[in-house]
Amino acid sequence: MKYLLMAAVLVAACTLGAQDFVVKPIMVQDCAPIGESLKFDEKPMGYEPGFKIFFLITGKDMTGFKKDGLSIEYIKGKDGKDISKSRTGKENYKMGSFPKVSDDGKKATFSIESDEDVFGSAESMQIRGKITMVSSTKSETLTSKELDATKNESQKTGNFTVTANPKADADGMMVDMGGNDKSLKVSVQGPMESISNISFVVDGKESKSNGWFGMDNSRTYTLEATKGNKVTVKISYWADMKDTPVPFDIKLGK
């Protein structure tokens, strides 16, 4: 397994609309296959067969990545063979988990990964494709009224619907876990990808969230507060999000 910090050549940067985005590789993880000869706890920490290439994007006003917004034209090795698709035409790559955007919106990171065995040559690949970034310059805040948690009260505010202590989430799944789970819960339905911050006030005191569960357009937050009657929800969101496809054509290595 190899981790390489890349001194890469950027073949093409691009200017799209009012924003300039530059994509460059910053790290390669390259692992040789070892089959089933080793148990999970015997393998090196972080071992995954195949390769991962991590990229840095610089620009401005970035808020996130468009879902399914990565497309690859080709991934070529030293021999010039395109390994981005299998022989049946199926995509042989995917976008890695947990892409990130900096708080100031000027930097973002993502990865491309594949289980293709290219051990020893991943750092010399050529990659052409595009990644669609989401950007925004306008942030707005909505505040719900005080919701009665004892009555599972809901309110639609803007494009969001908030419910205090819901009995079920938007998909009809029961929220009450039973047992020792006595935490207050708040469900939020709407364009969750636009939310930049969310906070909760229970009976006049701020209550942090211990996490959430849900799907793309519905989340149920579990609050630190274990009891309370009135819940207020404040949602800060990006109001003018737009998608910008960012092409890149990169050759790894010096």
For residue 36, pLDDT beyond 80: no
Where would I find the H helices in 12-146? Answer: none
pLDDT at 20: 78
- Outline where DSSP puts E strands in 96-229: 100-101, 107-114, 126-135, 139-143, 147-148, 154-157, 160-164, 185-189, 195-202, 205-206, 209-215, 218-223
pLDDT tens-place string over residues 142-167: 999 999 998 999 999 999 999 998 87
pLDDT at 175: 55
Residues of the chain within CATH 2.60.40 domain(s) are 139-238
d(CA 199, CA 141): 11
pLDDT band at 174 (very low <50, low <70, confident <90, very high): very low
CB 188 within 8 Å of CB 198? yes
d(CA 126, CA 227): 57
Q: What is the mean pLDDT of the chain?
A: 85
pTM: predicted TM-score of the whole model, two decimal places: 0.78
pLDDT tens-place string over residues 71-108: 999 999 888 889 899 888 899 999 999 999 999 999 99
pLDDT tens-place string over residues 182-195: 788 999 999 999 99
Please provide the CATH number assigned to the domain covering 139-238. 2.60.40
